Amino acid sequence: METVAQIPKYNLNEEQERKLILREYRSLLRSLKTKIKPGDKDLLRTAFEMAADAHKTMRRKSGEPYILHPLAVAKICVEEIGLGVRSTICALMHDTVEDTDITLEDVEKEFGNEIARIVDGLTKISNVIDVNASQQAENFKKILLTLTDDPRVILIKLADRLHNMRTLESMKREKQLKIASETVYVYAPLAHRMGLYNIKTEMEDLAMKYMEPDTYKEIAQKLAETKRERSKYINEFIKPIKEKLEKGNFNFEIYGRPKSIHSISNKMKKKGVDFEEVYDLFAIRVILDSPQEKEKEDCWKVYSMITDEYTPSPERLRDWLSNPKSNGYEALHTTVMGPQGKWVEVQIRTKRMNEIAEKGLAAHWKYKEGATDESGFDKWFQQIREVISSQETDSIDFLQDFKTSFLAEEIYVYTPKGDVKMLPIGSTALDFAFAIHSAIGVKTIGAKVNHKLVPLSHKLRSGDQIEIITSNKQKPSEDWLGFVVTAKAKGRIKDALKEEKKKIGDEGKYAVQRKLEGMGASMNPHNIDELVHWYKLPSHVDLFYQVAIKNIDLKDLKEFTVMGDRIEAPKPIRIFDPKPEYNPNHPGGSSKKDTELVIFGESSDKIVYNLANCCKPIPGDDVFGFITTGKGLTIHRTNCPNAAKLLANYGHRVVKTKWARNKEISFLTGLKIVGMDDVGVIHKITNLISGELKINISALSVEAKEGLFEGKIKVFVHDKDELEELLSSLKSLPGIESVERYDTGDIA
């Protein structure tokens, strides 16, 4: 993946600035050359001049003129996403309505309704940043509504986000963390879903550069160091295939490209291996120039030639020719055993498929003109429309549901009649029932998968054939929410439960009314609110429901005082009084202006903090502080499994945090060691830790089977440097296979 050249630190005079802006504008026009029709040039000029004039007094954080940002976004739209003139105008204007004196009416008068609508969509979603969580997810909902209205909105938004990521250097650290995590949480999966693989990988890599800088640098450096031997290997691998393809008279390109830093890091985490042990650091790509009617046939012929030369791994064949992904991706992937006993991934696709893989939705439209069948994209948009229009759920849930429903990989399953249904990975038989129809979902009592009876929570796999069994007596239950993943199923189940709750709650409502009237008070909103507050319930419906099912005893009301027709709850109102949220400006907090907290320094006794259990940070780790209700400040590592979600959803609660050296305090962390089960190996390990390095061991558990042992050790270290030294010393012991930091939840 290319690194993007940064504009040097800013020091241009007015004339140089003017030249730079014009140079960028001309470069944009050159990119659009093949798409410009008569009259377009004037429109583009007008858009550029309007935007340049509107933004003329504005600067970016780096100091450069603001207009360079819309120009860069427009260029990404054209060159990397494949959009045309109208989208370019929208990209140039995308910040004007929100940030300058230009109004939507001005845009409409100048460029017409279509462009005004897209700019309006972009304006609505540009304030996703720096608001509280529910507001942020609300805005995300707006993004999706606009997306289904005109997908260009989201494509321009992705270009905008990509440019922001490329120029994140000049932002403050907490802003960098927030924007990077939001990108990895929402925008990268969205880019993937729109079929923009290059943009998705670049976004993930850039996010990692800010969230896990050390790992990022380390992998980037190792990739650079191994580049020569990789190229040599790729050439050796390609040579015999090239000869075969030339003999077969194919018109083709073949090359190797490195995997992204983010995906290599993911492999290392998932498999618990070092960089050197990640076998597929690159993929070989074969791109054929074939006429559309012969594409499938040619791809399979090439597959056959490659697998004649190298043995394939049968479970690693991915056939997206017969069943393209719903984002339009078509290709054939296989993993084969190459020279020197190394596994190599090979991707086979045609020029058309390659363009769709790189330009996603925009290329998909280009090839769709004249086609009559409804594409995966259209179906996808339709599903989103359906879910958003019927959703009343809490917005944070909505964001989570959206990720699992619409941004996950898909599986293909079949109805009893053989119709194909596409569902997100992890879907259950119950999700399938709701995908067929909501009315079937709510009545489902069982399912048969491949003619065998299975529970409703049975996870489906690609190729399954499912038959749903229903009964008119069936009603959805609360536990259904625990095993459905699609937003449609979740939404419908919640609606049905609400309906049911309301019905049962009617009895409770009368009970409350009788009780209040018996006390001389009346059934008014104030009194109901007082009771909801007292019992700490989310709504009136919940209060009546809890009364109806006898979870709440109304005898408690004798403690209330009646004043006129109103009741007053006894003090304190709440049964459990949560601790107040941590406030950095409180006398007990840090005195620094920008609320940067120095943890474990001189002020450590003044700050209430907790170390997060999910990632067990120790001094030296990249961390951020997160304000938790009732717990004050919790410190998380930036590569914590929960970090992206916390930072993306609750950016306003993040506090900048750094470590101060304090050798007096030790921190508990865990190590997982795997090695050969050899006599005395445990003695060697404990001797090294306690004897040579003088580190305290808190606990040790070892399991040995079939010649291998796995040890989990809890140790007290002062900081990350000490931990790194311990890790490398242990790795160098004979017979030790792997040593890694072990910090998921409580250390076993």
The yes-or-no verdict on residue 345 having pLDDT over 50 is yes
- Establish if 185 belongs to a structural domain: yes
Query: Crossing angle, helix 40-54 and helix 14-32, to 10 degrees?
Result: 150
Same domain, 609 and 682: no
* The pLDDT value given to residue 523: 84
User: Cα separation of 197 and 612, whole Å?
Assistant: 34
3-state SS class at 189: helix
pLDDT tens, 707-740?
888 888 888 888 888 888 888 888 888 888 888 8
Residues in a beta bridge with 252: 288
pLDDT over 80 at 98, yes or no = yes
Assign 129 a pLDDT band (cuts: 50, 70, 90): very low
Select from 463, 494, 525 the last residue of a domain.
494
Span 196-219, average pLDDT: 91
pLDDT at 589: 38
Other CB atoms within 10 A of residue 248 CB: 13
Residue labelled with tokens 């993040």:
654
Strand 657-659 versus strand 452-454 pairing type: unpaired
Where is average pLDDT lowest: 3-7, 517-521, 529-533?
A: 3-7
Are both 193 and 81 inside the same structural domain? yes
pLDDT of residue 585: 39
Burial class of residue 308 (count of CB atoms within 10 Å of its CB; 0-12, 13-18, 19+): exposed
Q: What residues have CB less than 8 Å from 167, skipping those under 6 apart?
A: 6, 7, 60, 62, 69
Instruction: Please provide the DSSP assignment of 621-655 as one string.
Output: S-EEEEEETTTEEEEEETTSTTHHHHHHH-GGGEE
Higher per-residue pLDDT: 585 or 270: 270
Residues 418-427, mean pLDDT to the nearest whole number: 83
The CATH code of the domain that includes 92 is 1.10.3210.10
Q: Mean per-residue pLDDT for 288-306?
A: 93
- Whether the predicted pLDDT of 4 surpasses 90: no
| Residue after which a domain boundary falls, among 568, 588, 621 | 568
Say whether both 34 and 72 belong to one domain.
yes
Q: Which residues pair with 508 in a beta bridge?
A: none
Distance CA 648, CA 646 (A): 6
Pairing of strands 667-676, 632-637: unpaired
Q: Three-state SS for 428?
A: strand
Cβ–Cβ under 8 Å, residues 605 and 660: no
- Banded pLDDT at 662 (limits 50, 70, 90): low
- pLDDT at position 242 is 93
pLDDT band, residue 124 (cuts 50/70/90): low
Both 206 and 227 in one domain: the answer is no
Separation between Cα atoms, residue 42 and residue 338, nearest integer Å: 56
Mean pLDDT (whole number) for 311-320: 87
pLDDT of residue 8: 47
Question: Does residue 472 fall inside a structural domain?
Answer: yes
Torsion-angle region of 717 (φ positive above 0: left; ψ -120 to 50: alpha; else: beta): beta
The least confident of 6-10, 180-184, 617-621 is: 6-10
In a domain, 351, yes or no: yes
- For 548, counting Cβ atoms within 10 Å of its Cβ (0-12 exposed, 13-18 middle, 19+ buried), the class is buried
| 602 in any annotated domain | yes
Beta-bridged to residue 335, according to DSSP, are: 345
Q: Please check whether residues 329 and 446 belong to one and the same domain.
A: no
163 and 279 co-located in one domain: no
Structure tokens at 727: 């890790």
| 41 or 146, greater pLDDT | 41
Listed in sequence order, the DSSP H helices in 437-477 are 438-441
| pLDDT at residue 591, as a whole number | 35
- In whole angstroms, what is the distance from residue 511 CA to residue 211 CA? 55
Most confident segment among 28-42, 115-129, 545-559 = 28-42
Residues 605 and 458 in one domain: no
pLDDT top residue among 688 and 392:
688
Phi, psi of 707 (to 5 degrees): 85, -5
Q: Which residues of 269-305 are buried (b: 16+ CB within 10 A; e: fewer)?
A: eeeeeebeebebbbbbbbbbebeeeebeebbebbbeb
Tell me: pLDDT of 382 over 90: no
Integer Rg of the chain from CA: 30
Residue 594 has pLDDT above 80, yes or no: no
Q: Is residue 577 part of a domain?
A: no
DSSP letter for each residue of 259-320 = PPHHHHHHHHHHHT--GGG-S-SEEEEEEE---GGGHHHHHHHHHHHHHHHSEE-GGG-EET
Domain that holds residue 96: 14-211
Q: Cα(738)–Cα(731) distance, rounded to whole angstroms?
A: 6
Q: Which residues of 451-473 are buried (b: 16+ CB within 10 A; e: fewer)?
A: eeebebebbbeeebebbbebeee
Tell me, yes or no, if the pTM score tops 0.85: no
Query: Which range has the worst mean pLDDT, 31-40, 217-226, 459-468, 509-518?
Result: 509-518
pLDDT-derived band at 259 (thresholds 50, 70, 90) equals: confident
Above pLDDT 70, what percent of the chain?
81
Residues 412 and 295 placed together within one structural domain of the fold: no
* CB-count exposure of residue 82 (10 Å: 0-12, 13-18, 19+): buried
SS3 of residue 364 by DSSP: helix
Mean pLDDT score across all residues of the chain:
79
Tens digits of residue pLDDT in 317-337? 888 888 887 777 889 999 999
Q: Which residue shows structure tokens 């750094």? A: 658
Residue 584 lies in a domain: no
Q: What's residue 374's pLDDT? A: 45
Here the CATH number for the domain that contains residue 326 is: 3.30.460.10
229 with 360, same domain? yes
Dump pLDDT digits (tens) for 136-158.
555 555 556 655 567 788 888 89
Residue 376 is predicted with a pLDDT of 54
Kindly state the average pLDDT of the residues 81-96: 88
CA atoms within 13 A of residue 584's CA, in its CB half-sphere: 19
Q: 490 and 500: one domain?
A: no
Contact of 60 with 69, CB cutoff 8 Å: yes
Tokens read off for 210: 């800010």
Please identify, among 152, 186, 211, the residue that sits at the C-terminal boundary of a domain.
Answer: 211
- Choose between 122 and 31: higher pLDDT: 31
pLDDT value at position 277?
A: 75
Q: Strands, DSSP E only, in 432-565?
A: 444-449, 452-454, 466-470, 561-563
Residue 422 lies in a domain: yes
Q: Is 573 among the domain residues? A: no
> How, if at all, do strands 311-312 and 667-676 pair?
unpaired
112-121, 124-133, 321-330, 446-455: segment of lowest average pLDDT: 124-133
Q: What residue type is assigned to position 52 of the chain?
A: A
Q: pLDDT above 90 covers what percent of the chain? A: 19
- pLDDT of amino acid 390: 55
Strand order in the sheet with 444-449: 452-454, 444-449, 466-470
The C-alpha atoms of residue 38 and residue 700 are separated, in whole angstroms, by: 76
Q: Is 603 exposed, middle or buried (0-12, 13-18, 19+ CB in 10 A)?
A: middle
- Catalytic positions: 98-99
Cα 428 from Cα 458, distance rounded (Å): 5
Both 206 and 244 in one domain: the answer is no
In a 13 Å sphere around the CA of 655, the CA atoms on its Cβ side amount to 27
- The amino acid at residue 21 is I
**Residue that wins the pLDDT comparison between 333 and 706:** 333
Query: Residue 471 has which token pair?
Result: 């009964």
The verdict on 536 and 617 lying in the same domain is no
pLDDT exceeds cutoff 80 at 513: yes
Q: Structural domain tally of the chain? A: 6
